[in-house]
Chain A
Amino acid sequence: MSLGAELHVASRYLIGNRRWTPVVTVSLISVFGLGLGVFALVVTLALLDGFQSGIRSQIVANAAHAEVRPATGRRVVDPEDLASLLQGELGNVEIVQVVRGTCLISSDTDAVPASVVGRSDTEGVIADRLISRRLGVGSGDRLEVISARQRLTPMGPLPVRIRTVIERISSPEPGSESGTVILPIAEAQRLLWGEPVIEALELRDVAEPWSLGQRVRGILGSHGLAFQVAGLEELHRPLLTALALEKVMIFVAVGLMLVVAALNLLCNVAMVAAEKRKDLAVMAGLGFTPRSLRRLFLVLGLAIGLVGSITGAVLGSALSIVLDRTGALELPRGVFMVTAVPFSVDPVTLGIVVAVALGLAALATWLPARMVARREPSEGLRYE
């Protein structure tokens, strides 16, 4: 049997004829419930995506997109050759040679441990806002950077240290807790190694940042060079994992609204099944199989789910886009990186929300549909 008869009856039940029937009423309540759940979930996730894409943009803007380290040991052998090879293969990418370590950063009044990075593209000294806040220093102030490495002096072994002036203050690296000081590479090498050692190459490709690690891995592999390559995902795994986990937890928590809406749908469909007991018996008498009756109810539930979730998704997306474009929800200046609450509607997330809503609607309808299919047709006629 085709689905024509089930669709025909289901559509008449939902749209009704000239009258406002109880089926239409409970269907509208169910549509409203599911629509509200989807709407709330879409807006919440758009808000979360808005903030998270801000963080991702900051990572892309400020951090390396890929990092190449030696497979063993800490020194990159022939870093210039390696840089030339990658530059030749990748074309328009920025390649920076770096060394890293931990030093004590001291101002006139205080000292804190912090990361020190020597970069081949840096001329002056850059301290991030964490260092600036902790030590109470700003551009033009003096800093002393003290290494754990020691050198022998007439007064005995003393730590290697440099005195320098902060050229500018930068945004902290996402996820950084201790603060970072960036130095010209020669000074960092002197502090950390005492010789011109390169520990890693950092690469940036503004056009395709997220795939750079994979491409570098491919190039080095094709030349038989053994290096450790980390892309953006690997370099910021803890932060990105935390962001993804946050999204999942918010989805689950706000998604509970959908579960409540689905339970409401279950009750309403069960009510329809009770209200239409006689009709169902008559339809069975006319030749509807138990499977057809089950399908009739599944069509009813899915239609309600589809209308509810599409309506909720459209309204939720529209509101998110309007709020994002107009910047209607302003944030206090200086507290956040952005001046208004950002919203970002991700089509994949939207698809998942609609799919989950439809899945829950189908599940919620399954129970009453199964109950209806298992009844003997005469039951509905006997109690009439």
Chain B
Amino acid sequence: MSENRLMVEATGLTKGFGSASTRLEVIRDLDFVVATGEMVAVVGPSGVGKSTLLHLIGLLDRPEKGRIVLDGVETDGLDGAVRAGLRNRSIGFVFQHHHLLDELDALDNVALPLRISGRGSRDARNRAAELLDSVGLAERTTHFPDQLSGGEQQRVSVARALAMGPKLLLADEPTGNLDRDNAERLFQLVTELHLKVGLTSIIVTHNEEMARRCDRIFRLAQRSGLSENVREI
């Protein structure tokens, strides 16, 4: 599956939180590389910086040090609008909590990235309907998030992540809130779409069994408290 071209090339990443006196350094001097078309699992104990790493790669946050190159695009120094454009066009997110907007029904939630990109309402909703059909929710388009089960919410979330035809899928513990059967179904859906659409996928998970089914495992571990991370590939 791996190709020579790199989709993600992160080098020397450092990120901490809090003020000078209460600073908590979560990631220090981390290198992380994912080839185009790979499906990589990121595993490790809670608080080790898995989500922070995903946020940095997904341009939801900025590293204090280090650089990130996405599909050949140097992201350092890009302003907020350009980063937002990249997130909209090239990156799809699936979060542990579905993070669907409560006020929008399933169709509008999936159509939102398309509306943001400037697509017309009808066009966006047609495309969203196709995507919901592809994740098996053709009958649930007018349902609001609180009318859907956990598994269905995550499938809507997957459909939304794929709405703009991204190159990179970032999933942060997508099965963390699901029971075993729903978790398995969702993981299969993500795997199928990864292959079908030709995505590069990075999946943060605590589930070792699922991680082993990915092309590669990136393991974050703690050393000397929380200040340093090592990786085992």
Interface residues of A (CB under 8 A from B): 1-2, 4-5, 8-9, 12-13, 16-18, 21, 23, 278-279, 281-292, 376-378, 381-382, 384
Q: List 29 A-B contacts (CB under 8 A).
A: A2-B118, A5-B112, A8-B108, A8-B112, A8-B121, A9-B104, A12-B108, A16-B103, A17-B102, A18-B144, A21-B102, A21-B103, A278-B99, A279-B101, A279-B102, A283-B116, A285-B87, A286-B112, A287-B84, A287-B164, A289-B81, A290-B84, A291-B80, A377-B55, A377-B60, A377-B61, A381-B55, A382-B55, A384-B99
Of A4, A9, A289, A382, which one neighbours B121 at CB under 8 angstroms?
A: A4
Judging by beta carbons under 8 Å apart, are A282 and B99 in contact?
yes
Give the complex CA separation of A286 and B97 in angstroms. 15
Given A282-B99, A286-B160, A289-B80; A381-B60 close (CB under 8 Å):
yes
Of A12, A23, A291, which one neighbours B104 at CB under 8 angstroms?
A: A12
Judging by beta carbons under 8 Å apart, are A13 and B103 in contact?
yes
Judging by beta carbons under 8 Å apart, are B60 and A281 in contact?
yes
**In the complex, per-residue mask of B82-122: 1 if CB is within 8 Å of any chain A CB, else 0:** 00110111000101010101111100100011011110110
Q: CB-nearest residue of chain B relative to A278?
A: B99
B58 at the interface (CB under 8 A from A): yes
Of A8, A16, A287, which one neighbours B85 at CB under 8 angstroms?
A: A287
Q: How many Å from the CB of B49 to the closest CB on chain A?
A: 12
Give the complex CA separation of A288 and B121 in angstroms. 16
Give the complex CA separation of A139 and B144 in angstroms. 84
Judging by beta carbons under 8 Å apart, are A287 and B99 in contact?
no
Q: CB-nearest residue of chain B relative to A287?
A: B88
Judging by beta carbons under 8 Å apart, are A17 and B61 in contact?
no
Q: How many Å from the CB of B215 to the closest CB on chain A?
A: 25
Q: How many Å from the CB of A382 to the closest CB on chain B?
A: 8
Judging by beta carbons under 8 Å apart, are B116 and A17 in contact?
no
Q: How many Å from the CB of A57 to the closest CB on chain B?
A: 54
Q: Please, which residues of chain B bring their CB within 8 A of the CB of A279?
A: 101-102
B194 at the interface (CB under 8 A from A): no
Give the complex CA separation of A1 and B88 in angstroms. 11
| Most-contacted residue by chain B among A281, A289, A382 (CB, 10 A) | A289
Judging by beta carbons under 8 Å apart, are A284 and B84 in contact?
yes
Q: Which residues, 145 to 191 on B, are CB-close (under 8 Å) to A?
A: 160, 164
* Extra 8 A-B pairs, beta carbons < 8 Å, given A282-B95, A287-B85, A290-B80: A12-B101, A17-B104, A21-B102, A282-B101, A287-B116, A288-B116, A376-B61, A378-B52
Judging by beta carbons under 8 Å apart, are A1 and B60 in contact?
no
B28 at the interface (CB under 8 A from A): no
Of B60, B80, B160, which one neighbours A378 at CB under 8 angstroms?
A: B60
**In the complex, per-residue mask of B54-93: 1 if CB is within 8 Å of any chain A CB, else 0:** 0100101110000000000000000011001101110001
Judging by beta carbons under 8 Å apart, are B103 and A17 in contact?
yes
Task: Kindly list the 8 A-B residue pairs having the minimum CB-CB distance in the complex, ordered from nearest.
Answer: A287-B88, A378-B61, A289-B84, A5-B115, A378-B55, A12-B103, A378-B60, A289-B81
Q: How many Å from the CB of A226 to the closest CB on chain B?
A: 65
Give the complex CA separation of A106 and B200 in angstroms. 107
Q: How many Å from the CB of A368 to the closest CB on chain B?
A: 18
Judging by beta carbons under 8 Å apart, are B116 and A5 in contact?
yes
Of A13, A17, A376, A384, which one neighbours B97 at CB under 8 angstroms?
A: A384
Q: CB-nearest residue of chain B relative to A15?
A: B103
Q: How many Å from the CB of A331 to the closest CB on chain B?
A: 52
Given A1-B117, A1-B118, A4-B121; A288-B55 close (CB under 8 Å):
no
Q: How many Å from the CB of A13 to the closest CB on chain B?
A: 6
Q: How many Å from the CB of A374 to the closest CB on chain B?
A: 9
Judging by beta carbons under 8 Å apart, are B87 and A287 in contact?
yes
Q: CB-nearest residue of chain A relative to B113?
A: A286
Give the complex CA separation of A382 and B96 in angstroms. 12
Q: Please, which residues of chain B bring their CB within 8 A of the CB of A289?
A: 80-81, 84-85
Q: How many Å from the CB of B170 to the closest CB on chain A?
A: 9
Q: Please, which residues of chain A bring their CB within 8 A of the CB of B87?
A: 284-287
Give the complex CA separation of A157 and B87 in angstroms. 103
Q: Please, which residues of chain B bring their CB within 8 A of the CB of A8?
A: 108, 112, 115, 121
Q: How many Å from the CB of B45 to the closest CB on chain A?
A: 17
Judging by beta carbons under 8 Å apart, are B95 and A381 in contact?
yes
| Most-contacted residue by chain A among B84, B108, B144 (CB, 10 A) | B84
Q: How many Å from the CB of A286 to the closest CB on chain B?
A: 5
Give the complex CA separation of A285 and B57 in angstroms. 12
Q: Please, which residues of chain A bring their CB within 8 A of the CB of B89?
A: 287
Q: Please, which residues of chain B bring their CB within 8 A of the CB of A4?
A: 115, 118, 120-121
Q: How many Å from the CB of A158 to the closest CB on chain B?
A: 93
Q: How many Å from the CB of A376 to the closest CB on chain B?
A: 5
Give the complex CA separation of A377 and B118 in angstroms. 21
Q: How many Å from the CB of A242 to the closest CB on chain B?
A: 53
Give the complex CA separation of A284 and B93 in angstroms. 11
Q: How many Å from the CB of A12 to the closest CB on chain B?
A: 4
Q: How many Å from the CB of A15 to the closest CB on chain B?
A: 8
Q: How many Å from the CB of B56 to the closest CB on chain A?
A: 8
Give the complex CA separation of A290 and B62 in angstroms. 15
Give the complex CA separation of A4 and B113 in angstroms. 12
Q: How many Å from the CB of B121 to the closest CB on chain A?
A: 7
Give the complex CA separation of A173 and B23 in angstroms. 78
Q: Please, which residues of chain A bring their CB within 8 A of the CB of B164?
A: 287
Q: How many Å from the CB of B159 to the closest CB on chain A?
A: 13
Q: How many Å from the CB of B162 to the closest CB on chain A?
A: 12
Give the complex CA separation of A1 and B89 in angstroms. 13
